[in-house]
Amino acid sequence: MFPPRRPYAIPLPEGRVLDLGARCLVMGILNVTPDSFAEGMHITDPAVAADAALAMEAAGADLIDVGGESTRPGAEPLAPDEELRRIVPVIARLAGRLRVPIAVDTYKAAVARAAVEAGAVIVNDISGLRFDPELGRVVAGSGAAMVLMHSRGQPGTLHAEAVYSDMMREMTSELEGSVRRATDCGVPVERIIIDPGIGFAKRAPHSYGVLARLPDLASALDRPVLVGPSRKSFLRDAVSGRTAPERDWGTAAAVTAAVLAGAHVVRVHAVAEMAQVVRVAEQIRSHGHQP
């Protein structure tokens, strides 16, 4: 028997609703950056990026997550003006062309404000509102939904912060703190999605533990769960040290585990392949509830 996946209706701007729970949704990653850790190629031209997003939608993406700053361990912080220069033209090109919702992957209030004005309807914050307190107020005023990810420290200190006495208890408590920060800023809890932050301030055993105990997190926080295992370094030892673009088979296993554990959304690079993985995993889930 697989754990149940509770349904949620996430309000979005202009009266739209993101229905989560009937099946796991696929979020396609669109990095508009010259230094992403995971792609074999880097997209910086807005027209090329927009075409890539449309191709993801055609391949089965239910959401597109646009990011302009690499958050790999050790990455240098990006100035807001440069982040805006990279992503706003892409989001503006996609608004009205994509049928699926657009998310912006940023922890900066100024960037989120401009992205939502350009057409994004979800703000995906890797810091869980630890980096920029104003971000919560921007989201609250915009009507956008919000993904709050668990992490500790800064991108340059993530590995050193991966010390836990009881990882699930501590992670749950810290995510509860992020939810409180958001609601204190005026973000309705109904608009919040949580992300356990695989690979962020977590060593490989921690990340595997998150996948194994995902139902505990969902139950404790009573919010929909987004999981992002795609091509991350925790897979490296299990797949003989392959580089990030070569880790899609390992990603497929992690995505399957996430779906079976009840994830509402998986965030992936290889949309066409992982959409197939999700569909098969959903079939397995559906038969797990039958006698």
Residue with tokens 């993101």: 18
Q: How far is residue 176's CA from residue 178's CA, in Å, rounded to a whole number?
A: 5
For residue 3, being part of any structural domain is answered with no
**pLDDT one-digit tens code per residue, 21-51:** 999 999 999 999 886 655 545 688 999 999 9
For residue 35, being part of any structural domain is answered with yes
Q: What is the number of other CB atoms lying within 10 angstroms of the CB of residue 239?
A: 15
Q: How many domains does the chain have?
A: 1
> Which residue among the candidates 86, 113, 232, 247 is catalytic per the annotation?
232
> What pTM was computed for the model?
0.95
For residue 280, being part of any structural domain is answered with yes
At 43 the pLDDT is 81
Tabulate helix, strand, coil % of the chain (nearest 5). Answer: 45, 15, 40
> Which residue among the candidates 108, 223, 231, 267 is catalytic per the annotation?
267
Q: In the annotation, is 232 catalytic? A: yes
At 71 the pLDDT is 75
For residue 42, being part of any structural domain is answered with yes
| CATH code of the domain covering residue 151 | 3.20.20.20
For residue 203, being part of any structural domain is answered with yes
Residue numbers of the domain that contains 218: 8-288
For residue 2, being part of any structural domain is answered with no
In this prediction, the residues of the chain whose per-residue pLDDT falls under 50 are 40, 290-291
For residue 237, being part of any structural domain is answered with yes
**pLDDT one-digit tens code per residue, 65-108:** 999 998 766 667 899 999 999 999 999 999 989 999 999 999 99
Nearest of 105, 103, 100, 102 to residue 127 by alpha carbon: 105
User: How far is C-alpha 122 from the geometric centre of its chain's CA atoms?
Assistant: 10
Q: What is the number of other CB atoms lying within 10 angstroms of the CB of residue 81?
A: 10
Q: How far is residue 280's CA from residue 262's CA, in Å, rounded to a whole number?
A: 14
For residue 77, being part of any structural domain is answered with yes
Helix, coil or strand: residue 159 = coil
At 291 the pLDDT is 47
Q: In the annotation, is 267 catalytic? A: yes
Whether 231 and 245 have beta carbons less than 8 Å apart is answered as yes
